[in-house]
C-alpha cells in the first residue's frame, strides 16, 4: 500500500471522529486533546533521547496532563461545585492554577533529578521542562479555545443584544461556535499545508529553509499563506458568524505564518535527532507530534487573540 493511500484511508477514518469529538466538546474534547498531548510529548522525549538526553518521561507526562487540565478550569470548577452540593468554592484562577502547576512541576523534577545521577542533569531537566511547555501547554490552548465559548464567559450581549435572558438555543449556538472554531483552525492548517506542498511542487524554485527542510520553497509558502487566508474567510461566512471580517483575516495570517513555522520547528527537532518521523503511530502520517506540529504554534496565538483581543 502506497504512502498516499495510507494517508487518505487514515484521514477518512480519523477526520469524522475528530469532528464529532470537537463538536461535542466538554470532557470528550478535553480527553482527546490530553491524550494527543501525552502521546506527542512522549514522542518529543524520544527525540530528546536520540540526542543523548534522559528526560523524566513519567513526570513530564503527568505534569503535562495537569497543565492541560488548567485550560479546562471553568468546567472543572462547575464539577467541583456540583460535587460539593452547590456550595461556592474558593479556587485559583486559570492563570494562577497554571502557574502553580508549572512551579510545582519544576520543583519536583529538580528534586527527582538530584537523585538520578543519569547523564547530564541540565540536559535532562531542560528537555523535560521544554517538552511540557512546548507540547503540553501549547496543546492545552486548544482546550482553551474550545472553552472560551461557554455562555457565561462569552460576551453574550455583544452578539445577542436583544435577548433579556440566556436561552438554551442561544447557549447551544455559542458552544457550537467553539467547536466550529477549532475545526476551522484545523481545516485552515490542513489546507495551508496542502497548498504549500502542491504549490511548491508545481512552482517551487527558491528554497525556503534548506538547512531544516530542503524540499520547502518560498513559492510553496506563499501558496500556503494565500490559501490559509482564503480558508479563514470561507470559514467566517460558512460557520463562524461571530467572527468579523478583520478577525478572519487575522486568523488566516496566524495560520499562514505560524502554521508553516511550526512545521519547520518540528523539522528542526527531527533533523537534530536524525529521524524522519517522530513515530510510526499514524499510518502514512508519522506520529502525533508530526500531525499536529503546525498547531503547536497556531493554537496559542489564536487563543490569545480570541481571549484578550476579540472577546475583551
Which residue do the cell numbers 504549500 mark? 196
Residue 275 has pLDDT above 60, yes or no: yes
Domain boundary assignment for the chain: 3-310
How many residues does the structure list for the chain?
Answer: 312
Residue 104 has pLDDT above 70, yes or no: yes
pLDDT attached to residue 87: 57
159-200 confidence digits (pLDDT tens): 888 765 667 788 889 999 999 999 999 999 999 999 999 999
E-strand ranges in the chain read 207-209, 213-217
**Exposed/middle/buried for residue 112 (C-beta within 10 Å: 0-12, 13-18, 19+):** middle
- What whole-number distance in Å separates Cα of residue 204 and Cα of residue 208? 9
43-70 confidence digits (pLDDT tens): 999 999 999 999 999 999 999 999 999 9
Please name which of 152, 177, 141, 173 lies closest in space to residue 81, comparing C-alpha atoms: 152
The C-alpha torsion from 292 through 293 and 298 to 303, rounded to 10°, is 50
Average pLDDT taken over every residue of the chain: 91
- Mean pLDDT of the 125-130 span: 98
pLDDT attached to residue 85: 61
pLDDT attached to residue 79: 61
Please name which of 238, 240, 250 lies closest in space to residue 182, comparing C-alpha atoms: 240
Residues 6+ apart with CB under 8 A from 130: none
- What whole-number distance in Å separates Cα of residue 215 and Cα of residue 198? 12
pTM of structure: 0.92
Please name which of 125, 103, 113 lies closest in space to residue 48, comparing C-alpha atoms: 125
| Count of alpha carbons within 13 angstroms of residue 56, beta-carbon side | 27
- Report residue 216 as a C-alpha cell: 520547502
Amino acid at each position: 500500500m502506497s504512502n498516499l493511500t495510507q494517508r487518505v484511508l487514515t484521514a477518512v477514518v480519523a477526520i469524522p471522529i475528530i469532528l464529532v469529538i470537537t463538536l461535542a466538546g466538554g470532557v470528550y474534547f478535553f480527553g482527546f486533546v490530553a491524550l494527543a498531548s501525552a502521546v506527542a510529548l512522549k514522542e518529543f522525549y524520544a527525540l530528546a533521547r536520540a540526542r543523548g538526553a534522559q528526560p523524566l518521561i513519567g513526570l513530564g507526562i503527568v505534569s503535562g496532563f495537569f497543565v492541560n487540565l488548567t485550560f479546562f478550569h471553568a468546567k472543572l470548577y462547575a464539577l467541583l461545585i456540583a460535587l460539593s452540593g452547590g456550595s461556592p468554592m474558593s479556587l485559583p484562577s486559570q492563570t494562577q492554577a497554571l502557574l502553580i502547576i508549572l512551579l510545582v512541576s519544576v520543583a519536583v523534577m529538580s528534586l527527582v533529578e538530584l537523585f538520578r545521577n543519569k547523564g547530564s542533569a541540565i540536559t535532562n531537566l531542560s528537555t523535560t521542562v521544554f517538552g511540557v511547555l512546548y507540547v503540553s501547554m501549547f496543546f492545552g490552548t486548544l482546550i482553551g479555545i474550545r472553552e472560551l465559548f461557554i455562555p457565561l464567559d462569552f460576551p453574550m450581549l455583544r452578539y445577542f443584544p436583544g435577548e433579556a435572558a440566556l436561552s438554551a438555543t442561544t447557549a447551544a449556538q455559542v458552544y457550537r461556535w467553539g467547536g466550529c472554531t477549532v475545526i476551522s483552525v484545523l481545516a485552515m492548517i490542513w489546507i495551508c499545508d496542502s497548498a504549500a506542498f502542491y504549490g511548491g511542487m508545481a512552482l517551487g524554485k527558491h528554497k525556503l529553509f534548506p538547512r531544516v527542510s530542503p524540499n520547502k520553497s518560498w513559492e510553496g509558502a506563499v501558496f500556503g499563506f494565500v490559501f490559509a487566508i482564503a480558508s479563514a474567510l470561507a470559514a467566517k461566512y460558512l460557520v463562524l458568524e461571530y467572527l468579523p471580517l478583520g478577525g478572519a483575516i487575522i486568523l488566516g495570517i496566524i495560520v499562514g505564518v505560524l502554521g508553516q513555522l511550526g512545521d519547520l520547528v518540528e523539522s528542526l527537532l527531527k533533523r537534530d535527532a536524525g529521524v524522519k518521523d517522530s513515530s510510526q503511530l499514524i499510518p502514512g502520517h508519522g506520529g502525533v507530534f508530526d500531525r499536529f506540529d503546525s498547531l503547536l504554534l497556531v493554537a496559542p496565538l489564536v487563543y490569545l487573540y480570541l481571549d484578550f483581543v476579540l472577546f475583551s
